[in-house]
Amino acid sequence: MNRLIRHGVRLGRQLLVPVLVLAVWEAISDAGWVSPIVLPSPSQVLLRWIAYAKPAEPYDPAQGSWLGWAFSGELPHDAVASLIRVAGGFALGAALALPLGLLMGASRIVHELMNPIVQILRPIPPIAYIPLAILWFGLGNPPAFFLISLGAFFPVLMNTIAGVRSVDAIYLRAARNLGAPQSTLFWRIMVPAAMPYILAGLRIGIGVAFIVVIVAEMIAVNSGLGYRILEAREYFWSDKVIAGMISIGIAGLGIDAFMNRLNSWLLRWHRGMEG
């Protein structure tokens, strides 16, 4: 019972500020202080969000499965399209960044060779590559995947390098004194010791990928949450714009919560050592 009370109190604290913001927002809208086109009320946004999410037609068992019908609405379709692009682009960027980061962190020669070009390219935002992405890949998913992988690449790369280079030299000297070969030093000491940094980089990278996908969908594709927000702006549907923004926030929160749980599960041994 005490545990339930504590959870209830904690949940109340977390919801206090959002509820106050919504109440003030609704009061301002109801008082007519701002135009509904500029800032629609939360209730209006909620109605638009429901209309955005629900399927266009009633469920007909003869037309297909219940799950397919549930995801036939605009919002589920756009959310799935965006998440697929995030997953594909992030996987591509991380797959390239992880081995390069491990090599640059473990080898001084590789680091000296690759670091200058990395430091030149790293400050360039992925948005700046949009003209080249369209020129190279045209329109559709390919330029979106390119931009997303680029956004995820550098956070994963830099955290992996930092993790490998931060391994305590005492562990390496102890392993060498025991006769461990270089491959054992790398896979059994460097990589596990760098894992907290690597997982932090993956968490940051997928967050950046989710930001980039929204921008890419506003430019190069005709589906997804970013595309739908741009479409709503052209028709002055402010409530749908905000509904799309809230959908992005919910999806981003879910992804970050999943990555946090995954990190905690993979680093159980690390938490135990810290305790």
The predicted model scores a pTM of 0.80
Sorted by sequence, the CB contacts under 8 Å of residue 206 that are 6+ apart come out as 86, 90, 152, 255, 259
How many domains is the chain built from? 2
Judge contact between 144 and 220, C-beta under 8 A: yes
Which residues form the domain of 91? 37-274
Question: Do 3 and 125 have their domain in common?
Answer: no
Percent of the chain topping pLDDT 90:
12
d(CA 244, CA 255): 16
Question: Do 113 and 17 have their domain in common?
Answer: no
Question: Do 142 and 12 have their domain in common?
Answer: no
d(CA 240, CA 235): 10
User: pLDDT by residue (tens digit) across 110-130?
Assistant: 888 999 999 999 999 888 898
What is the rounded average pLDDT for all residues in the chain?
Answer: 81
For 78-89, letters b (16+ CB in 10 Å) and e give: bbebbbebbebb
Integer CA distances (angstroms), 79 to 24, 84, 173, in order: 29, 9, 50
Question: Do 125 and 10 have their domain in common?
Answer: no
Q: Is the pLDDT of residue 275 over 50?
A: no
Residue 222 φ/ψ, nearest 5 degrees: -120, 35
d(CA 232, CA 242): 10
Question: Do 85 and 5 have their domain in common?
Answer: no
Q: Please report which confidence band the pLDDT of residue 273 belongs to, taking 50, 70 and 90 as the band edges.
A: very low
Question: Do 108 and 9 have their domain in common?
Answer: no
Question: Do 70 and 169 have their domain in common?
Answer: yes
Question: Do 29 and 41 have their domain in common?
Answer: no
Question: Do 100 and 80 have their domain in common?
Answer: yes
Q: Please report which confidence band the pLDDT of residue 66 belongs to, taking 50, 70 and 90 as the band edges.
A: low
User: Which residue has 């399927």 as its token pair?
Assistant: 55
Sorted by sequence, the CB contacts under 8 Å of residue 235 that are 6+ apart come out as none
